[in-house]
Amino acid sequence: MRWLVLALLCSCAPAQIDDSKLVDLTYDFDSKTLFWPTAKPFQWKKDAWGMSPGGYWYTMASFSASEHQGTHIDAPIHFAQDGATTEAIPLKQLVSPAVVVDITAQSAANRDYRLTPADLRAWEKANGRIPDGAALLVRAGWGRFWGDRKAYFGSDKAGDASGLHFPGVSKEAAEWLVKERRIDAIGIDTASIDYGPSRDFIAHRVLAAKGIYNLENVANLDKLPATGATLIALPMKIKGGTGGPVRIVAILR
């Protein structure tokens, strides 16, 4: 009987979470958070801050922002007319095995580099097939520029998105992913999954048409292994939203 009780306890006790296995893939939101040149910045203001007339401490603040700034999600409707809005992305799709494809060297040599099918095939040769339901994270090494608009976007002209230069995902790679594999999500450590000079946002369109959501301005991708982490990406549940701020955490094995 004692053993039975012990066995039950073991199977029911909540698992301990090891802090060292958690990686925060999210940037802070504040007045310095980088936003798309034509979008609204993150704004935050104190409504009350200090000792109240009742003699107790009290704080409250308000914020407003574009859905598409800082570490954020693009819901499929962002580029697909019948695509899911933010609140309608299934929870199951927001918790995924993470795979990290590193294009840091290619991007260091060419700011306008785009992930290719050859990069994906080379990754699979080294790491095995991209699993069904994966969140495919593209690491361009752009985190080193975060906070510096000119270095990160390739231009710091306010209100003008015509002179941008940063790496992204090619049309061919997006098409390969939707035809040959079954990923749930794609993420990148730049401002957009389409590279800076893009005018047709074709990678967004190809992926959104298949219900795949994007994560942009993802932080700390250098702290993840190529495989083995679990990604949890929980956006603010904006009903009818085209995206939104998202807290992304990876759990290492």
> 85 or 127, CB closer to Zn ion?
85
Q: Which stretch binds Zn ion (CB under 5 A): 3-11, 40-48, 71-79, 119-127?
A: 71-79
Residue 189 touches Zn ion, criterion: CB under 5 A: no
Catalytic residues: 78
Closest distance of CB 184 from Zn ion, Å: 17
**Do strands 114-115 and 168-169 pair parallel, antiparallel, or not at all (unpaired)?**
parallel
> 184 or 216, CB closer to Zn ion?
216
Residue 74 touches Zn ion, criterion: CB under 5 A: yes
Given the structure tokens 């840091």, which residue do they identify? 104
> 119 or 216, CB closer to Zn ion?
216
Q: Which stretch binds Zn ion (CB under 5 A): 23-31, 107-115, 204-212, 214-222?
A: 214-222
| C-alpha–C-alpha distance, residues 231 and 94, integer Å | 8
Assigned token pair, 198 = 């893009």
> 75 or 130, CB closer to Zn ion?
75
> 123 or 153, CB closer to Zn ion?
153
Interface with Zn ion (CB under 5 A), residue total: 3
Closest distance of CB 25 from Zn ion, Å: 15
- Report which residue type is found at 179: K
Closest distance of CB 36 from Zn ion, Å: 7
Closest distance of CB 215 from Zn ion, Å: 9
Closest distance of CB 26 from Zn ion, Å: 15
Closest distance of CB 74 from Zn ion, Å: 4
Q: Which stretch binds Zn ion (CB under 5 A): 16-24, 74-82, 99-107, 195-203?
A: 74-82
Residue 68 touches Zn ion, criterion: CB under 5 A: yes
Residue 111 touches Zn ion, criterion: CB under 5 A: no
Beta-carbon contacts of 58 under 8 Å, excluding residues fewer than 6 positions away, are 48, 50, 51, 52
Residue 204 touches Zn ion, criterion: CB under 5 A: no
Inter-CA distances, 168 with 24, 47, 144, Å: 22, 39, 16
Q: Which stretch binds Zn ion (CB under 5 A): 15-23, 38-46, 133-141, 212-220?
A: 212-220
Task: State CA 183 to chain mean position distance.
Answer: 14
> 96 or 214, CB closer to Zn ion?
214
Q: What residues line the site for Zn ion (CB under 5 A)?
A: 68, 74, 216
